[in-house]
Structure formats: C-alpha cells, structure tokens
Structure 1
Amino acid sequence: MKFILGLGKILTIAFWGVVLFNQLLPQPVPFNLLINAVGVTVLGLHILEVLFFNASLRGRSHRWFDRLQILLTGIFHVMSIPRQPQLPRNG
C-alpha cells in the first residue's frame, strides 16, 4: 500500500509540473485549455479535501505542512496519515 501511495504522490506532483509548465510555455490551443481546466478542477477538489479532512489533522504536529501536502497530492497524503485510536464513549 505504501508503494501505491508513494507512486500516486509522485504522479500527482508530476501532473502539477505539467500544469506549471503549461503556464510558462502554453501548449497548442486545445491542449492548453484542457490542461488549465483539469488543473483548476483538481485544485478545487484538493481544497475541498483540505476542508473535509481538517478535523483529522488536529492531533498532528505539522498541520500546515499536512495541509500543503494535501493541496499538492490530495487523497494520497490523506490515506498515508496514520489513524488515531478512538476512545470508547460512555453513555
């Protein structure tokens, strides 16, 4: 599982490299629009992931770094965060 998460993170960062490269040197007309549209969509999804999983970052020592990693790699970083044990509820 660690291999798949690591590969997903690497591929996601490579995707952001393609989006950044497209901003510096725009590709031919249909491709630059598609790359920009997909980049904006993925960025929006990663922002939603940061908002949804913000509560699970409370016990972490480097919350801001975790948020940055979620913005870059999305669910691949969320899945690599170890789960905290849940306390039993009385009542």
Structure 2
Amino acid sequence: MKVFWGLWKLLTLLFWAVVAVNWLMPFVFPLNLLVPATGGLLAVLHLLEVLLCNRSLKGRAHPWRDRLKIVFFGVYHLQTIPAPTVSKAFHA
C-alpha cells in the first residue's frame, strides 16, 4: 500500500506544479479559470484536514512537518502516519 500512497503523493505534487505553472503562464480560456479554482478548493480541503487532525499530531516527533505535508498532500500523507498505540497507563 505504501507504493500507492507514494504514487498519489506524486500525482498531488504534480497537480500543485500545474497550478503554479498556471500562475506563471495562464492557460487557455476554460483552464485559466478552472485550475486555480480547483487548486483553491483543494487548498481549503487540506487546511480543513489539518484543523481536524491537529490533536492527533501533537504527540508526533515533528508535528509541524506533518502539518505542512498534510497541506500539500492531504489525506495521502495522513494514511502514511501510523496509528497511535494505546499505552498501558490508559487501561483501567
């Protein structure tokens, strides 16, 4: 599964590159409006993911690096983070 998550991360990075290229050299008519709109929607969704997953990232070694990766890759980075293990101290 790590290969698939890595592939999706690569495709997401490619999408952000397309958005950046569109800012430098605008595409033809329908795309010059659709690409930034889609990029903006994706950025809002990724920021929402960061807000929703903020609490689970606090115990990580580098939470700000994880937050930045979520802003770029979204759920594809969240899937690569291992699930937190329940400590024996929390058991009653």
CA RMSD for the aligned pairs? 1.0
Query: Quick one: distance in 2 between partners of 1:9 and 1:55?
Result: 23
TM-score (structure 1 length as normaliser): 0.94
Residues 1:24 and 2:28 aligned together = no
Query: Quick one: distance in 2 between partners of 1:18 and 1:89?
Result: 49
Deviations 1:42-86 (A, max 9, x none): 000000000011111111111111000000000000010011112
Secondary structure of the structure 2 residue equivalent to 1:83: coil
Question: 5+ unaligned residues in a row in structure 2: which ranges?
Answer: none
Residues 1:64 and 2:77 aligned together = no
Partner of 1:73: 73
Question: 5+ unaligned residues in a row in structure 1: which ranges?
Answer: none
**AA in 1 matched with 2:52:** F
Deviating above 6 A after TM superposition, structure 1's stretches of 4 or more consecutive aligned residues are: none
Secondary structure of the structure 2 residue equivalent to 1:59: coil
Query: Quick one: distance in 2 between partners of 1:33 and 1:78?
Result: 29
Aligned length: 90
After the TM superposition, which residues 8-47 of structure 1 pair with which residues of structure 2 at under 5 Å, given as runs?
8-47=8-47
